[in-house]
Amino acid sequence: MRVLIVLAAIWLSTPLWAAEVYIFRHAETESATVTDPQLSATGQRRANWLAEYLVLQNPEYLHSTDTSRTRQSIQPLQQRTELEVQHYEPTELAALIEKIQQGGVHVVASHRGAIMGLIQALGGDLETDIDDSEYDRLYHLTVTDNSTKVRRLSSEPAHPKIVPTPFVINPNDISLGQYRYQMLFQDQPVGEAVWEYAQDQSGIHLQETTRLERFQTEANIKVDLETNLSAGKMTFGGTFFGSPADISIAWNSSKVKGHSQIPRQPYRPQGRVEVDQDWPAGTMERSAALMLAHALRIPEPDQPYAFRWFNTYDATIRDIRVDNLGVTEIEQADGSMVQAVQLRLLGGAPSQIFYLSMERPRKVLRIDIINAPWCYQLIESKHNN
């Protein structure tokens, strides 16, 4: 009888199925402003490194979304293994999970958000989100019907690190007044955003009003900052993609407190999140940083710097890299052409490219959302400088 009990216990603890899963984000791309970019030279080197490493893990199944950047990222491995690449939708992971649960060794080429969602769906513990600037994370999951172990590895070339400096602007560089932007989705107008800037003895005052009827968004954001940026408060009210938004935080040079309620990624805590955490010196709230991007120092080409921002949507602190992409010519809303400085804020979610006027104080002429079909186009401005 005792033997039968022991055998039953062993049988009950033995997994019914087991799988090894290697998941990586697509490698670096040539362009950040087109919908389906190709891999860059750095991205191709990473794809080759991944193939050399992963072929030694004896993969049995290859999976990829049907985009150029993911297909090209897994192609060197496919050529080495001669396995068929099975495509899946990053927003519909059920079929992919079902295949993984049949067992075997799987390699998955994916995207930032889909990776975190897949790890959660397979029962893995979540860590920090993959940032827009990160391409070197390689996750190894050992998955059974009763447990999931997650190991984070790194591919080559290594993710470059820039030590963040304090968020600094010159108050005289702020373009005071009102700026109205037409918002485009897939090159079609879908709404407007109005940014307002004021400054007085009490500090710097920012306000954004965004209305996107098609996306059920009517957002009102207010930020008040001390002139030296050492303290401030931010509120966000209205609706955001069909759900109520309620954010209210205040901070000083060492602490941020308040609450945040806004729709988040499905693998993140939903509902109201209480905020009470340390605030590293020199950090800036995300909405304020975006509205003040035009007043940031423009770095020399190939000499980027970084600062920290606090993302009020998910209560995380991120490093934001600032790059000068050079001067280009862009078309304005009235059809005229004008030169603009391209300033890229890489990191957080999503990253953005600001096209700034040549004259100072600069104004934002256009914003492209990196790897997303969104664009802000300036259509009217009223200067108070």
Number of H helices, E strands in the chain: 6, 21
Question: Residue 15: its pLDDT value, please?
Answer: 61
Residue 16 domain-assigned?
yes
Q: Are residues 113 and 189 in the same domain?
A: no
Q: How far is CA 251 from CA 163, 223, 234, 347, 382, in A?
A: 22, 11, 9, 22, 30
Give the CA radius of gyration of the chain. Answer: 24
Q: Are residues 281 and 357 in the same domain?
A: yes
* Buried/exposed 194-207: b ≥16 CB within 10 Å, e otherwise: ebbbebeeebbebb
Residue pLDDT, tens place only, 50-84:
999 999 999 999 999 999 999 999 999 999 999 99
Question: Three-state SS for 295?
Answer: helix
Q: Are residues 129 and 230 in the same domain?
A: no
Sign of the alpha-carbon dihedral angle for 34, 306, 229, 168: negative
Q: Are residues 219 and 338 in the same domain?
A: yes
Domain range holding 12? 2-154
Tell whether the model's pLDDT for residue 304 goes beyond 50: yes
Residue 240 domain-assigned?
yes
Residue 166 domain-assigned?
no
Token duo for residue 168 = 């600094």
Residue 162 domain-assigned?
no
Q: What share of the chain is helix, strand, coil (3-state, %, to 5)?
A: 20, 45, 35
Categorize the per-residue pLDDT at 325 as very low, low, confident or very high, splitting at 50, 70 and 90. very high
Q: Are residues 326 and 181 in the same domain?
A: yes
Q: Are residues 220 and 148 in the same domain?
A: no
Question: Residue 253: its pLDDT value, please?
Answer: 87
Assign residue 79 the CATH number of its domain. 3.40.50.1240
Residue 190 domain-assigned?
yes
Cis bond upstream, residue 361 (ω within 30): yes
Question: Residue 2: its pLDDT value, please?
Answer: 53
Residue 188 domain-assigned?
yes
Residue pLDDT, tens place only, 196-214:
999 999 999 999 999 999 9
Q: Are residues 147 and 179 in the same domain?
A: no
Q: Report yes or no: 217 and 209 within 8 Å, Cβ to Cβ.
A: no
Question: Residue 203: its pLDDT value, please?
Answer: 95
Q: Are residues 106 and 186 in the same domain?
A: no
Residue pLDDT, tens place only, 152-173:
999 999 988 899 999 999 999 9
Q: Report yes or no: 15 and 145 within 8 Å, Cβ to Cβ.
A: yes
- Tell me which of 120, 154, 188 is where a domain ends: 154
Question: Residue 264: its pLDDT value, please?
Answer: 82
| CA 113 – CA 11 distance, rounded (Å) | 37
Domain count, the chain: 2
Residue 51 is given by DSSP the state: H
Residue 280 domain-assigned?
yes
Q: Are residues 284 and 309 in the same domain?
A: yes
DSSP per-residue letters across 251-262: E-SSEEEEEEE-
Tell whether the model's pLDDT for residue 227 goes beyond 70: yes
The structure's pTM equals 0.84
- Tell me which of 96, 119, 154 is where a domain ends: 154
Token duo for residue 162 = 């820039």
Contacts of 328-335 with C-beta under 8 Å, sequence gap 24+, read 328/355, 330/355, 330/365, 330/366, 332/365, 332/377, 332/378, 333/182, 333/377, 333/378, 333/379
Q: Are residues 265 and 149 in the same domain?
A: no
| CA 304 – CA 298 distance, rounded (Å) | 9
Q: Are residues 140 and 215 in the same domain?
A: no
Question: Residue 159: its pLDDT value, please?
Answer: 83
Residue 72 domain-assigned?
yes
Three-state SS across 170-195? Answer: CHHHCCCEEEEEEEEECCEEEEEEEE
Q: Are residues 149 and 175 in the same domain?
A: no
- Tell me which of 103, 123, 154 is where a domain ends: 154
Q: How far is CA 3 from CA 16, 17, 94, 220, in A?
A: 22, 25, 40, 68
Question: Residue 334: its pLDDT value, please?
Answer: 86
Average pLDDT for 87-98: 93
Average pLDDT for 178-192: 95
Q: How far is CA 84 from CA 24, 76, 97, 137, 349, in A?
A: 18, 12, 18, 24, 33
Q: Report yes or no: 50 and 172 within 8 Å, Cβ to Cβ.
A: no
